[in-house]
Structure 1
Amino acid sequence: MLDGAAAERCPTPVRRQSRLKGRCEGVFWRRTDRQEVRRITLAARRYELVTRQPGARSGALGFVALEVLEYLANLVDYKTGRLDPAIETLMSRLRRSRDAIVRALKALRTHGFLDWLRRYVPTGNEGRGPQVQQTSNAYRLSLPARALRLLGRFGQPSPLPDDFDATQQRRTAGYDAYRASLSPVELVAETIEDPALRAVLTRLGQGVERESGRRTESQSKFLFYRD
C-alpha cells in the first residue's frame, strides 16, 4: 500500500493499494514453465466454450481476454515469473482499445486466470510536483480449480515410458564414452561456453599436446637406436 508520507507529497496520488516497484514482486511472481503456461491457456479456451450460452457470441471471458492471455503467456519469464507489460503495450501489440484491454484484464482476474499488483515509482522531483507516479502492473498467471477440471487428463503430467530409465542410462553412457574419446583441446571446445576462458584453456591444451607429442617422439627415437 502507498505510504501516507508519499501520498501527502503527491498532488496527484497514485491508485490505492499501489506498491513500490522493485520491492513487492519477490513474493508475488513465481517461477513457471512452458507446460504450466500451456495448461493455463488451454484451460481458458475450454472455459470460454463451456460458459458460452446458446446464441451468445462469447463466454465468460470473451475473445479479447483470450488474446490478452495468449500474449501474456508468450511474454512471461519462466525463470522468474516476471510479467509487467504496460497497458499501452497490450493496446499496441493486440490492436485493441484501452477499454477493451481493461475489460479483458478484469475478466481474466474475475475468473481466476490472472492477478496483479498495482505499482508506483518515484518521479525524481526534488521540489514541488508529484513525488511518485503510477507505473505498469506486475501480473501473475494462474489456473483456477474449476478450469483445471475442464482439462481432464490434459491437466495431469504425462507418464514416463516404461523404458525411460534404461534409455537415459544408455544416453549417459554413450555421452561419457564420447567425452572420453576427445582430446584436451576438443573437450574444452565441447564443454566451455565462455569465449575468453575457452581460448585460454585451448592454448594450455595445445601446449600439453605438443609436449606430449615431443615426449612420444623422443621415446620412439630412443627405442629405435637401442634396437
Structure 2
Amino acid sequence: MALSVGDATLAALAGVAIRRKPARSGAVHRTGAPVLRDSVEAGTFEEAFFAVPAKGETDRLLHVARKTLDAARRLRRDARLGAKILTTSERVIARLTGSAVRVYEEILTLARLNRGRVFPSYDYLADATGLGRATIGRALAILEAIGFLVRQRRFNRVAGQGPGPRYEQTSNAYRPLLPERVLSYLPRWLRPAPLPEDEVQRYADREADTRYMLKSLSCRELAEATVSGSLGKILAKLGAAVDRREREAQIDPQPLTDSYNKAQTVLA
C-alpha cells in the first residue's frame, strides 16, 4: 500500500497502523468505532422492550427450559440412532445444551431481581456461570434461535474530538420468553391455559381497531406512533414531507386535459 510522506510520518510518530480495524459487520465505521449491525441507542427503547415478570413466571420458564433440554437430548439420540428424521423445528430444539440452560437461568434470575430489566455483559455472564465468553455467545445464539429470549444490541454516544458524534458498543438488552415451538414437548401442567372465547374475541376486536386506527393516520403520525428514538424523528420528517406533497396535489391537481395537451406538444 502506497503511503504519502505525511501519512508515513504520522504513522511513525504514533506507532500505530493507519488502517482502522473493520467492524464485525464488514464495514469500517466513519469514526473508527466498531458498532455492530442492528444496534439501537441505549435509553431510546428500553421502556417498551422490558417487561416485569409475573409472580412465579421466571421459575416456570426455567422448568420449561429444563424439560426442553430433556427433549433435546432425546431428539439427538433418536437422530444419532437413525430412529427419526428431525424436522427443521426439531433440529433447532436439538441444539439446546446444558450450558445454554445455565445461561438462561442467570438471565431469569436477573429478570426477577431487576423487575425485567436485563442487560448483563458477556463478562458478567461468564463470571456468574463459570463459562467462557465463546460458550456464552453460543448459548445466547441457541436460546434466541429457539425463542427463549429476544436480545437487542445497544450502543452509547460518547464525547470525542472532531466533528460528528462518537459511538461505542455496550451490553445487549434481553427479554426472556416462552417459545411456542417447545409447547408440544412439555407436560400439560407446564403448558399455558387456553384463553376463553370472549377473551380471544376481545383480542381480535382490539387488533381490528388498531389496524383501522393506523390506516387513518398520516405518514408523520404513523412514524411517530410506531418508531421511537432518532430513527422515528427522521421518519416523521420524511412523512411530513410526503403529507405536504399529497395535500398540495389535492389542492391544485393538474387537469387531465392539460397533461394530455402537454404530452401531445412534446411528441409533436
Q: Which bin holds the TM-score, normalised by the shorter protein?
A: 0.5 to 0.7
Higher relative contact order (CA 8 A, sep 6+): 1
Specify the code of the residue in structure 2 equivalent to 1:13: P
Maintained 8 Å contact 1:109/1:115:
yes
Give matches, 1:178-193, under 5 Å: none
Alignment RMSD (CA, Å): 2.6
The one of 19, 33, 36 equivalent to 1:15 is 36
Shift of the 106–96 alpha-carbon distance from structure 1 to 2, 3 Å rule, reads same
Maintained 8 Å contact 1:32/1:79:
no
Maintained 8 Å contact 1:77/1:83:
no
Unaligned 5+ runs, structure 1: 1-6, 158-227
Specify the code of the residue in structure 2 equivalent to 1:70: E
Percent of aligned pairs with the same amino acid: 32
Residue 151 of structure 1, CA deviation: 3.6
Residue 120 of structure 1, CA deviation: 0.2
Maintained 8 Å contact 1:111/1:144:
yes
Give matches, 1:1-227, under 5 Å: 9-52=30-73, 53-54=76-77, 59-77=94-112, 80-127=115-162, 131-149=166-184, 150-156=186-192
TM-score w.r.t. the length of structure 1 is: 0.59
Counterparts of 1:13 and 1:70 in 2: how far apart (Å)? 30
Counterparts of 1:86 and 1:130 in 2: how far apart (Å)? 24
TM-score w.r.t. the length of structure 2 is: 0.51
What SS does structure 1 have at the residue aligned with 2:151?
Answer: strand
Specify the code of the residue in structure 2 equivalent to 1:105: L
Unaligned 5+ runs, structure 2: 1-27, 81-92, 194-268
Shift of the 151–123 alpha-carbon distance from structure 1 to 2, 3 Å rule, reads farther
Counterparts of 2:113 and 2:52 in 1: how far apart (Å)? 6
